[in-house]
Amino acid sequence: MRMRRLLNGLTQKELAAMIGTSFQQLQKYEKGVSRIGPARLQLVAQALDVPISFFFEGSDDATPSVVGETPAAAFVHKMVAMSDGQQLARAFISITDSKVRRQITDLVESMAQLHRAAHAGDASAP
């Protein structure tokens, strides 16, 4: 939820107003402290312009929990928590040509591989 909210450029206060709750309650939803009921989840999905299934993608559980986070979701969450990650995600999403997106992905993967190789012995490198 947080990832999609950030990608949409919404603050917690704005999204909370859209779904009829306080921003403190929205914080609890995003942190997984409070479960989100089906009716509220439907409002969130509408406000964020995603199908409700968006919140369950990658879930192997027969009774998905919005609170639970898949490894892929945790990775994306970490990326959009960084301002440059948000900027990169917004720019990438705006590219409609799949070949250009593939070239960008290849470039970033190549750069990351070079970075890892250059810092292989450096424990402080990400």
Report how many domains make up the chain.
2
67: tokens are: 């609170």
Q: Is residue 126 part of a domain?
A: no
* 50 and 2 within one domain: yes
* 1 and 61 within one domain: yes
- Residue of 124 and 78 predicted with greater confidence: 78
* 58 and 107 within one domain: no
- The percentage of residues in the chain with a pLDDT greater than 90, rounded to a whole number, is 33
pTM: 0.53
* 39 and 5 within one domain: yes
Answer yes or no: is pLDDT of 50 > 50.
Answer: yes
Question: Cα-flanking dihedrals φ and ψ of residue 41, to 5°?
Answer: -65, -40
Which residues form the domain of 4?
1-70
Q: Give the model confidence (pLDDT) of 64-99 as tens digits.
A: 344 455 666 667 777 777 778 878 888 888 889 989
Q: How far is CA 19 from the centre of its chain?
A: 19
77: tokens are: 């969450």
Please state, rounded to an integer, the average pLDDT across all residues of the chain: 81
Q: Is residue 75 part of a domain?
A: no
